Amino acid sequence: MKKTVLFLSAAVLSLSLASASAWAADAEAGKKLAEQKCTTCHAFGKAIAKAGKIGPSLEAGIAGKPAGKTAGFAYSPAMTKMAGEGLTWTDENLDKFLTSPKGFMQGTKMMAFPGLPNEAERADVIAFLKTLPTP
């Protein structure tokens, strides 16, 4: 009897470990991080109401989209140039930009943001960005 219980809890444990790695990026955690780290400058719409206007609004969704297209926002020449060359916010580009904005884009107006050095945190924030509406 005792053995069965042990076996069962081991099975449950390994199952939850397996699902933890399958769902490594956590959009809920990413939303909390974005609230702390991004809303000084960015709006995320209904997901996060409180927001500053130093950066372009990201409320229409940004993941997978061409860079530098928010109407009415004065992007840096650096962003305008890379956008003109076809920069799109793929997971990879978001990851690089969020690691070090000015490392990825010298002259970006997002230089006041030092970046998110933690890979898991970046993955969570990117997972959150993907939940935003993509018309």
Q: Are the beta carbons of 129 and 61 closer than 8 angstroms? A: yes
Give the nearest distance from C-beta 72 to ligand HEC in angstroms: 11
Q: Does 40 bind ligand HEC (CB under 6 A)?
A: yes
DSSP 122: H
Smallest gap from Cβ 27 to ligand HEC, in A, equals 13
34 touches ligand HEC by CB under 6 A: yes
Q: Which stretch binds ligand HEC (CB under 6 A): 4-12, 14-22, 54-62?
A: 54-62
Rounded Cα distance between 134 and 66, Å, is 12
Distance (Å, whole) CA 26 – CA 120? 9
Among residues 61, 116, 106, 98, the alpha carbon closest in space to that of 82 is found at: 106
- Non-local (6+) Cβ contacts of 21 within 8 A are none
Q: Least distance to ligand HEC from the beta carbon of 42, Å? A: 5
- Residues of this chain that bind ligand HEC (CB under 6 A): 34, 37-38, 40-42, 54-56, 62, 67-68, 70, 75-76, 78-79, 89, 98, 108-110, 112-113, 116, 125
